[in-house]
Amino acid sequence: MPTIHGTRPGRPQRPARPPGHPRSWEGATISSLRDYIREHTNPTVFAVSGIVIVAFVVMGVVATEPLLNAATATRDWIGEKLGWIYVLATTFFLGLALFLLFSRFGSIRLGPDDSRPEFGTVAWFAMLFTTGMGIGLVFWGVSEPVHHLHWPRRAEYLPGPDGAPVPEAAGEAMALSLFHWSFHPWAVYIALGLSLGYFAFRKGLPMRPASALYPLMGDRAFGWPGHIVDILAVFGTIFGLATSLGLGTLQINGGLNHVFGIPSNSFVQSVLIVVITLIALLSVVAGIDKGIRRLSVINLWLAFLLLVVVFLLGPKLWTISITTTGLGQYLAGLVPWSLAFPSPLVDPQAAEWTTAWSIFYWGWWISWAPFVGIFLARVSYGRTIREFVVGALFAPVVVSVLWFGVFGGASLYYDMFRDAGLNELAEEDRAFRMIDMLPVGAAVGAVISVLLIIVVSVFFVTSSDSGSLVVDTLTNGQDPRPVKSQRAFWALSEGAVTLVLLVLGGAEALSALQAAAVVTGLPFAVILLLMSWGLLKALKDEPRSPGRAERERMPGARP
C-alpha cells in the first residue's frame, strides 16, 4: 500500500483558522457556524441519522400498531426466507476469529509495532464484558433457559398435556442459552472491532466502519457509500441500545416493586430513565478512564459477588450438574447448530424455534456490532490480534457459562422441582422470584435483590456512556478535539429515545423498534462480510516479521 502523509484523497485540507475566528456559538456568523459544524461533525451522517431516529420515534409513538406490524412482518420474512444468511455469516465470523487466533497474523498489533495497551488487562476485560453483554445477560440469565424448557427446539421435549416440562429438556435448554450468548455474538463483535482497530490504529484511517472497506472500494469508502454504512451503524447503535436500556428499566422497576413496593408504572420508569441518564452524563463528562473504566471494574466485581452469593445459597450440586451437562451439549452441538436452518417441511418445531430464537439473536448481535465493535476497538489500542481474540472470544464465554450455569441453573431447578412458576411471570420479574426461592430469610433476599438492581443500573450507565462515545465517533467527522458536549448530547438522546419508546409508545412501540433494529442486521451482515474481506486483504500485505519493515500507511491516513 503506498505511503501518503496528509488528509484523505479527494477532500482538500481545511484552511488554518484565522486569528479571532469564533470557536463557539456565541457571536458566530453563518459562515463560522458552517465551519463549526464541518469541523466537529460529519454533516451527512449526523443529519441523516438524526432525521431517521426522530422519524422512527414519532412513528413508534403515533403509529405504533402499523409500525409494529410492518417491522414484525419484515422480520418474520427475513427469518423465513433469508435466515440462512445470518446462519452462514455468524458461522463465518467464528471461523475467522479462530483462524486469526492461530495464524501468523496473531502477533500483529493494533497500532505501531512498538505500541502497548492503553488499559490494564482487568480494566480492559471489564469494559469488554460490561459493554458487550451487560444488561442483556442479567435480564436473560434467568429467563431464557426457562423459555427453552417450556418451548424447546426438539418436538419430543414439548411439555405434556398437563403442561409439566420434560426433565430431559433442561440440559438442552441450558445448552441453547449458551449457544446464543457465547462464541457467536463475540465472534460478530470481533469481526468489526478487529477490523476497525487494525485500520484505525495501524493504518491511520478514521475509526468508522467505512474505513475497513478501503481495500475494496478505495476513495469511495469516504464518499456516499461510506456514509450509508456509517448511518446504518448509528441507527443500529441508538435503537439497539434504547431497546436494551428499556429492558433494563423494566427490570429495575420490577426489582424496586418487589423489594420496596414501589409501583411498576410509566411514571416510575420515567424517573428511573432520567436519573440513570444523568448519572451516565456525569460518566461521559469524566471521560473513558475516570468514567467507563472505573464503573466497569466496579460492576465486574459486583456482578462476581452476586454470582458467588447465588451459587453458595442455591442448589449447588444441581448447578454444577446442569452447567457441565449444558456445556457438554453446547460444545457437541456447536457445529450442527451453527449451520442449522431447519425446513418447516421436515421439522416444523425446530424451524419455528430457530426463526424465533437463533435467527433473532444473530440479527440482534449483528445490529449491535457497530456499537460494541467500535468501543472494543477504541479501548484495544496496542493489543495484538491474538490478545484481542482471546480476550474478546474466550474470556467472556467463560463468564457467560458461569452466569447461565448459576442463574439459569437455579431458575430451572426451582421451576421444575419447587413449583416457582417462573414461566408464568414476566421476564423482568423472574430473577427476583428466583431469589425469593433461595433458602434465606426475607431480609437477606432483599439485600440480594438490591444488589441485582445495582448491577443492572450500573450496566445501564456504562452502556449509555459507551454508546454515546460510539455514536459521537461515527458522527463527529473525526474531530481530533472531540467536544464533550456532543457526547453528552448523545447520552441524553439515548435516554430520551428510551423514555419515549418505553413510556409514551409502550411495550408495542419498543417491540416495533426492536424488530426494526433486527432488520438492520441483514444489510449489516453483508457489510461485515465485506469488512472481513478487506481485513484479510490488508493483512496479507503485512510483513512476515512485524517490526523489521517500516509500517505502511494507507492513503487517507491521519498525519
198-218 average pLDDT score: 90
pLDDT at 7 over 70: no
Of 86-95, 116-125, 448-457, 547-556, the one with minimum mean pLDDT is: 547-556
Is residue 133 predicted with pLDDT exceeding 90? no
What is the spatial distance between Cα 550 and Cα 559, in angstroms, rounded to a whole number?
15
| pLDDT per position as a tens digit, 329-352 | 999 999 999 999 999 999 999 999
Query: Average pLDDT of the chain?
Result: 82
286: phi then psi, degrees, rounded to nearest 5: -70, -25
pLDDT, position 481: 55
pLDDT of residue 549: 41
CA distance 427 to 247: 9
Predicted pLDDT of residue 247: 79
Q: What is the pLDDT of residue 65?
A: 75
Of residues 38 and 519, more confidence is placed in: 519
Express each pLDDT in 221-245 by its tens digit. 888 888 888 888 887 778 777 777 8
Comparison of pLDDT for 125 and 289, the residue scoring more: 125
Helices (H) and strands (E) in the chain, counts: 23, 0
Confidence (pLDDT) at 405:
96
3-state DSSP assignment of residue 417: helix
Q: How far apart are CA 502 and CA 269, in angstroms?
A: 8
Q: How far apart are CA 523 and CA 540, in angstroms?
A: 26
- Poorest-pLDDT segment among 193-202, 476-485, 512-521: 476-485
Rounded Cα distance, 100 and 106, in Å: 6
Q: Please give the pLDDT value at position 533.
A: 95
196 or 299, greater pLDDT: 196
Shortest CA distance to 374 belongs to which of 481, 476, 497?
476
pLDDT band at 3 (very low <50, low <70, confident <90, very high): very low
- State mean pLDDT over 505-516: 64
Q: What is the pLDDT of residue 107?
A: 93
Instruction: Report which of residues 547 and 466 the model is more confident about.
Output: 466
Strands (DSSP E) contained in 115-237 are none
What is the spatial distance between Cα 32 and Cα 55, in angstroms, rounded to a whole number? 29
Are 123 and 293 in contact, with CB atoms under 8 Å apart? yes
pLDDT higher than threshold 70 for residue 327: yes
> Which range, 216-220, 286-290, 357-361, 434-438, is most confident?
434-438
Convert the pLDDT of each residue in 440-450 to its tens digit: 988 999 999 99
- List, for residues 478-491, the tens digit of each pLDDT value: 654 556 777 777 77
Give me the pLDDT at residue 290, please.
58
* Residue 551 reports pLDDT greater than 80: no
Share of the chain above pLDDT 90, in %: 39
Q: What is the predicted pLDDT for the residue at 513? A: 59
Question: What percentage of the chain reaches a pLDDT higher than 70?
Answer: 83
CB neighbours of 2 closer than 8 A, spacing ≥ 6?
552, 555
Cell of 463: 452502556
Q: Which of 130, 64, 135, 162 is nearest to 427 (CA)?
A: 135
**CATH value of 41-540 in 1.20.1740, 1.10.3470, 1.20.1070, 3.40.1000:** 1.20.1740
Domain ranges within the chain, ordered by starting residue: 41-540
Secondary structure of 544-556 as H, E, C letters: CCCCCCCCCCCCC
Where does the pLDDT of residue 26 fall: very low under 50, low under 70, confident under 90, or very high at 90 and above? very low
Q: Which residue has the cell 446504518?
A: 232
pLDDT digits (tens, 9 = 90+) for 109-122: 999 999 988 888 87
Choose from 34-43, 49-58, 247-256 the range with maximum mean pLDDT: 247-256
* HSE (side-chain half, CA atoms, 13 Å) at 429: 10
pLDDT of residue 340: 93
**Residue 109, SS3 per DSSP:** strand
